[in-house]
Structure 1
Amino acid sequence: MRYFKMNGCGNDFVIIDARSRGSLPLSQTQARAIADRNSGIGCDQVIALERSIRGDAFMRIWNSDGGNVEACGNAARCVAWMLMEEGGAASRRIETGAGMLYAERAGDRVITVDMGSPLLRWEEIPLARPMETDVLKFEAGGLKGPGAVNMGNPHVVFFVNDVRAVPIETLGPKIEHDPMFPERTNVGFAEVRSPEQIRLRVWERGAGLTKACGTGACAAVVAAHRQALTGRAVEVITDGGSLQIEWREGDDRVLMTGPVELESTGELPAG
């Protein structure tokens, strides 16, 4: 099967076109092997492009640890661009485990994805016990009062003075596996530079520290606005590039706009 190596703001993917088969039942071991940067192709997530009845394609996602996840915003932009290039279309619908995503062109290799409405109740995140999610009663490594948001996958976002000073590779996995988060969680560390700009780094559940996280950027803006730190339209600067995020007031939808890059293509070896 043919694969496409792509990235969105440096968050990279191996996208396998399995539509001719209908689906691609990769095992955790196979997904880890593909994602391995030493012996495999190397990526943050492995994506299978499968047939869909409701959308233009179904997007199945494995993190680099081999675990399945429901959503990936940067991958959605890459997949949308691929589908648009096939037929010269200006928009596409992508079915995911978290629901249907709607994407449209916003420029040359720039895609906008409607990521849907954020889930904000404690049981939707999910958390281990009832509490308000705008400012969690949770502390780790001297940081406290994060916001919690589900953008198709769970996120907790801490607001810090200097994101570069946070020991993310130590603190990230500790929070990811904390009992407060029964399904584990993605962990964002956000430095609010102005009401219109955030500097963000994310420890991704099952993937570690990545150059960018699309759902994490969306979660950071939602969490920041709920704590009255930013407006609803914010530039999110990641290690790999910039994303434009808007949490619309009228319909509660979160729109993410950002670049995509095709790095290479190839054929997966048999087995």
Structure 2
Amino acid sequence: MSVLNTVPFEKFHGTGNDFFVVDAEDPVPDRPAFARTHCDRQGGIALDDSNRRGADGVLFLALESRYDPPRVVMTLVQPDGSVAAMCGNGARVAAAWAAERTDSDEIMIDTPAGTRRASLDDDYVTVEMGAPSFDPRDVPLESDEELVEAAVEGLTITAVNTGVPHAVAFVDDVDDVDLEAVAPSIRHAPLFPEGTNVTLASPDGDGGFRQRTFERGVEGETQSCGTGAVAVVAAAKRLGHVSGDDPVRVSPPGGTLSVTVPDEGSALLGGPAVHEGDGEADIVFRER
């Protein structure tokens, strides 16, 4: 591995789901190598006032302020070097980053999963997430049938795509499950040809859900997962655990999110997006 020079970055998090943000105008020739190097939780970047190294991904953002509302092109490169089609908390961070530069409270976000509209109220960001799909072609599944409350590698799973695939399991208490132990076999199950995120949910006793997610691309549990929170509510509606179009509170370890999954149309994800600090990172590339 060689170092070319440095690039400025900003660090944001959405309910603990943290990202390095790099302006796409600043060239990073090998984005996968950059993400693998700097997102590493053991040897990656740590801000001066934080002992937590690394991040859950790098957001490369290209602002197109000439549009009304302004647009930002979002590319999320994950710690394993892969590109995620959608990331709910990442989209909220992208909106906050773009809003800082445009003074706009409405931002359009272009992602590989489609264009999403975000609205801001101070540091609280609500973003459209698209319509969840249980269609096996959309998840995708190696099956012609939807996967709803089916046994997969020891858990009862409902599979849904909320921009990326999720295998959702409702359990009595998310803390009673060793997620790091049970998730990898589901994440790599042959039923999921592109792999899947693995999300646990349990009722919080007040109409909402607690959530834990093992993320594909991070290859471990994250403090929050926005697409996972939407998947929880979408699956809960499908199974009759909730009904109607009212917002549902979902609580991952890193905070609280608000999720609305209407009977028709786009789901909504709301929560805070927090700017943690700034720094500079080495630009690296892998020698061939």
- Normalization by structure 2: what TM-score? 0.86
From 66, 76, 80, the equivalent of 1:65 is 80
Query: Any idea what SS the aligned residue of 1:36 has?
Result: coil
From 117, 125, 130, the equivalent of 2:139 is 125
Q: Which structure carries more relative contact order (alpha carbon 8 Å, separation 6+)?
A: 2
Q: Which amino acid aligns with 2:167?
A: V
Alignment check: 8 A CA contact 2:256 2:271 kept: yes
Query: Any idea what SS the aligned residue of 2:200 has?
Result: strand
1:186-233 superposed Cα distances (whole Å, 9 cap, x missing partner): 000000235730011000012110000000000110001100012342
Closer/same/farther in 2, CA of residues 195 and 222 from structure 1, 3 Å limit: farther
Is 2:231 aligned against 1:219?
A: yes
2:171 aligned residue:
160
Q: Which amino acid aligns with 1:267?
A: E
Describe how 1:21-60 pairs up with structure 2 within 5 A: 24-41=28-45, 42-50=54-62, 56-60=71-75
Alignment check: 8 A CA contact 1:131 1:137 kept: no
From 115, 135, 138, the equivalent of 2:151 is 138
1:93-130 superposed Cα distances (whole Å, 9 cap, x missing partner): 0101111011001x331000011111220111001111
Is 2:270 aligned against 1:257?
A: yes
Q: CA deviation at 1:140?
A: 2.1
1:25, 1:128 → 2: CA distance? 35
Task: State the Cα RMSD in Å.
Answer: 1.8
Q: CA deviation at 1:25?
A: 4.8
From 2, 8, 21, the equivalent of 1:15 is 21
Query: Any idea what SS the aligned residue of 1:174 has?
Result: helix
Query: Any idea what SS the aligned residue of 1:138 has?
Result: strand
1:77 aligned residue:
92
Structure 2: segments with no counterpart, 5+ residues? 1-6, 46-53
Alignment check: 8 A CA contact 1:195 1:229 kept: no
1:138, 1:122 → 2: CA distance? 16
Alignment check: 8 A CA contact 1:103 1:113 kept: yes
Q: CA deviation at 1:269?
A: 2.6
Alignment check: 8 A CA contact 1:4 1:265 kept: yes
Q: Which amino acid aligns with 1:237?
A: S
Identical-residue share of aligned pairs (%): 37
1:244 aligned residue:
258
1:65, 1:27 → 2: CA distance? 11
From 101, 104, 113, the equivalent of 1:89 is 104
Q: Which amino acid aligns with 2:56?
A: D
1:101, 1:43 → 2: CA distance? 23
Q: CA deviation at 1:66?
A: 1.5
Query: Any idea what SS the aligned residue of 1:248 has?
Result: coil
From 173, 190, 197, the equivalent of 1:179 is 190
Alignment check: 8 A CA contact 2:132 2:267 kept: yes
Moved more, 231-240 or 91-100: 231-240
Closer/same/farther in 2, CA of residues 81 and 269 from structure 1, 3 Å limit: same
1:86, 1:49 → 2: CA distance? 12
Alignment check: 8 A CA contact 2:9 2:20 kept: yes
Q: CA deviation at 1:180?
A: 0.7
Closer/same/farther in 2, CA of residues 18 and 136 from structure 1, 3 Å limit: same
2:201, 2:141 → 1: CA distance? 21
1:56, 1:63 → 2: CA distance? 22
Structure 1: segments with no counterpart, 5+ residues? none
Q: CA deviation at 1:28?
A: 2.6
1:118-156 superposed Cα distances (whole Å, 9 cap, x missing partner): 1220111001111123x1433222x22x22111111011
User: Aligned pairs, how many?
Assistant: 264
1:190 aligned residue:
201
From 104, 114, 123, the equivalent of 1:99 is 114
